[in-house]
Chains A and B, each alone.
Chain A
Amino acid sequence: MNFNATFIGQLIAFAVFVVFCMKYVWPPLMAAIEERQKKIADGLEASERAEKDLELAQAKATEQLKDAKAQAAEIIEQAKKRANQLVDEETQKGHAEREKIIASGYTEIEAERNRAKEDLRKQVAALAVAGAEQILQREIDANAQNDIVEKLVAEL
């Protein structure tokens, strides 16, 4: 362990190594590390932001779904109401039609009856007249007694 010129050589080598390390080794490595740290920090921030966005979107979607459900329920309600209304209307219409048809039937029947009555009356009158004519052929002129026959017929 003699102290000698090796000391000088080592001192120079040490200085050269430190300077080289300071100039060419440390700065690029540190730059890469810091750049990556920044990237990671940015990435974490972005992911956090995305998470928040997702939460917001989910809340929005839920809201919209609720709205849509409410709207659908309303529409169904309206449709039901409308259907009931239609059924009611139709029923009413049907009823009215029936009444009308029945009423017209009655009128027709009434008219038919009246006509039949008239016919019958005429026939009865004619028959009576014929009968009376035959009866009275022997005694009375038909025309002279016509008003009596008419009165009889009207009483029918």
Chain B
Amino acid sequence: MRDAPTLAPAKLRIADVALRFTPRRGPTVTALERISLDVRDKEFSVIVGPSGCGKTSLLRLVAGLIEPSEGAIWLDERRVTGPGRDRGMVFQSYTLFPWLTVQQNVEFGLKVAGTPPTQRREIARRFIAQVGLDGFEGHYPKQLSGGMMQRVALARALANDPAVLLMDEPFGALDSQTRSLMQELLLDIWQHFSKTVLFITHDIDESILLGDRVYVMTARPGRIKEMIEIDLPRPRSVDVLTSEAFMTIKRRIMRLIHEEAVRSFAAPDG
């Protein structure tokens, strides 16, 4: 399903993107096929899909870390040709630099961009406060919990003031209580900074709680199966998870994902 063309240009446009790779042995694998989607300015888009559907690859394509086999990606009408600071990314794995303090981690992007020390110190401090880690500036990552590390990673991505924030299951490794808190924190921050976000998850609740739009992907080869507008009122909190409207959307997405899971289960090599 494609949405009708809008007059306002998309902030981020993924146009007919395919990703194939040829293993040393065996036939060519199509990881992603004909993916097209537009993310509007300040919109929170979520991609949800069964494991192995290529959703992480899609995010890495947007980040410019890998190149599409077909199609193109456009950010602010400029074609993506490689990684850049306009697309900040938060990974599922912990990617803080262990040899840098919290403060230095958050300053990293500014430092490589040549921002003067006093200025970057101040910017970093502001984002560290924003993710609720005042007083931890001098800590090393090994002294932080998983949730705290992901908050620093978020602050580090935001400090660069990226045009889009790419998030690859950033809360996937956290326990469920921490995860809920992180989701609320992210919603706060998103509203506060009016960021455009592209968020990957396999967690249906998370996708509905966070997203303006949820894209459901098919099992390999990954395609966009359906786009669902989430019209739940904002600001949202985790309380929304028990509402009737939420349940209706959840049932629908679950059915879509279930079909895909069954399909890939029956034909593992798709």
To the question of whether A and B form a pair in one complex, the answer is no
Interface on A for B, CB 8 Å cutoff?
A: none
Residues of B within 8 A of A (CB): none
